[in-house]
Amino acid sequence: MKKAYDILVIGSGLGGLVSALILAKEGLKVCVLEKNNQYGGNLQTFSRNKLIFDTGVHYLGGLSKGQNLNQFFSYLEIMDDLELQLMDEDGYDRISFGDDEIEYPHAQGYQNFVEQLSKYFPEEKENLENYCEEIQYVCSQFPRYHVVGKDSYNEEILHLNTKRFIESVTQNKKLQSVLLGSNFLYAGDSENVPFYVHALTVNSYIQSAYKCVKGGSQISKLLIRKLREYGAEVHKHSEVSEFVFNENNTLTSVKTKAGKEYEAKQFISNIEIRSTIKLIGEERLKKSFLNRVLSWKPVSSCFSIYLVLKPHSLPNFNYNRYHYSSEDQVWNASQYQKESWPETYMLSSTPSKHHPEFAESLTAISYMDFDEVKEWENTFNTVADEHERGEAYERFKLEKTEKMLDALEKKIPNIRHAVKTLYTSSPLSYRDYIGNFEGNMYGYMKSSENPLKTMVSPRTKIDNLFLTGQSVNMHGILGVTIGAFNTCAEIIGKETIDMRLTQMINKN
């Protein structure tokens, strides 16, 4: 029997869940289908030894009262239930290089940001103030960045280049590297990446930086609870395997691997854009669009190790540590020599529940090319669909884990003695769970030379099929949330979305 809805959402990543909830709040009959055992895409967490580990979301920006993500989450009615912990205000991110023992802080609040870095670069204070002004100016050009903004942005903004911008702000090579130090958040190809990507990413954390106390999955859990309150249906273990079209090329229903069929008036795809193209069928799309999308290069993938620590063995730190083997490494951090991997890592810590001055777990992440796991590319393994990848793969992971521990040991000499057990994830884990092409972290590489090449409208050539998620516009919690509001604006009209958000802002 076919079930019929107003809106069917494929994939329950943040973009899919937010789109579904915006439309369910308008009284539409909505259904979300998810292939995995857990909802949430990159918001998924896993637990080992009774501890929660994040696979994607390590911290959130812009969540203090009046800030943009706070307002979007308030509209979605999840803000008050989020359990958050404010990160270190004098350095939520700390950047270090090689053997230099100093950890250079990125602080919360623009004045504080300038103040904390000026301690290390006293003669650069004015340059730091200019940097902060420019970042805020670029962000102000994006329509939804201020929740209800103007209609279109100044296209010139898209062509600004991060490298050229940073070099124009300061001649100090070390400070340039410090300012770029968190570029892991957009997979750090700072030579080509448009400056707006850097600005949108960094700005929201300088406003405020928080951790989710129980991991990123609490965001998806709260969104799903709200969806159900508004009468929406949400189903897991429901992988869409076929799109059904009528003779007018309108999408009428989708079929799942389990053989169920779901009809809807309109559809939103929140899965990898290449997977969406396969389901649509290449013959239904323009050659020029296909060639453009298939020519995109995915950003790097990563390898992560999750360390469960012995009690009271390491002090907790309430910030993220970004370490680079050298200052130059920052510019193209995702391009590395296999022999000297990891040349870069991000390290975050979770406090012990009963003794918060100690860490109960650590997560370390470094870039990894998909090529390194290519020999196992025909394997597949998730909780919902389990298969072993074999002994050679286990050896490969062990070898990488040892190398990562060697690197961490330089900063935390007794780390090996502190580890109780550890777990890993590779580019294959990201590919299989999230569905991203080659396990990439954030979609596809953007270039300031041709910024429109990787921009996709939420509309498709199929009149009743829309796109949302990190391939559309911008990745990250804020980027994807804004993208979902833009997707819904195509369905129910920008005026309606603006009116709803304005009403909420006035009420608050």
Tell me the pLDDT tens digit for each residue of 443-486. Answer: 899 999 999 899 899 999 999 999 999 988 889 999 999 999 99
Query: Of 44, 51, 45, 56, whose CA–CA distance to 422 is shortest?
Result: 51
Tell me the pLDDT tens digit for each residue of 66-117. Answer: 999 999 999 999 999 999 999 999 999 999 999 999 999 999 999 999 999 9
Distances (CA, A) of 504 to 74, 186, 465, 499: 8, 31, 29, 9
List the 320-324 sheet strands across, edge first. 104-106, 93-97, 320-324, 344-351, 359-368, 301-309, 419-425
269 near 465, Cβ under 8 Å?
A: yes
Question: Distance (Å, rounded) from C-alpha 357 to C-alpha 115?
Answer: 26
What are the residues whose beta carbons fall under 8 Å from the beta carbon of 398, sequence distance 6 or more? none
What are the residues whose beta carbons fall under 8 Å from the beta carbon of 263, sequence distance 6 or more? 2, 3, 4, 5, 8, 252, 253
Quick one: how far is CA 460 from the chain centroid?
Answer: 23
What are the residues whose beta carbons fall under 8 Å from the beta carbon of 13, sequence distance 6 or more? 40, 41, 42, 43, 270, 271, 434, 469, 470, 480
What residues are paired with 94 via a beta bridge? 105, 321
Query: Of 54, 373, 341, whose CA–CA distance to 214 is shortest?
Result: 54
Question: Distance (Å, rounded) from C-alpha 435 to C-alpha 384?
Answer: 13
Tell me the pLDDT tens digit for each residue of 265-324. Answer: 999 999 999 999 999 999 999 999 999 999 999 999 999 999 999 999 999 999 999 999
Question: Distance (Å, rounded) from C-alpha 426 to C-alpha 301?
Answer: 8
- Which residue has 């300038």 as its token pair? 114
Quick one: how far is CA 225 from the chain centroid?
Answer: 22
Tell me the pLDDT tens digit for each residue of 124-136. Answer: 999 999 999 999 9
Residue 161 DSSP class: B
Domains and CATH numbers, the chain: 3-43+58-73+214-296+444-507 (3.50.50.60), 84-93+104-212 (no CATH), 300-441 (no CATH)
pTM, entire model: 0.95
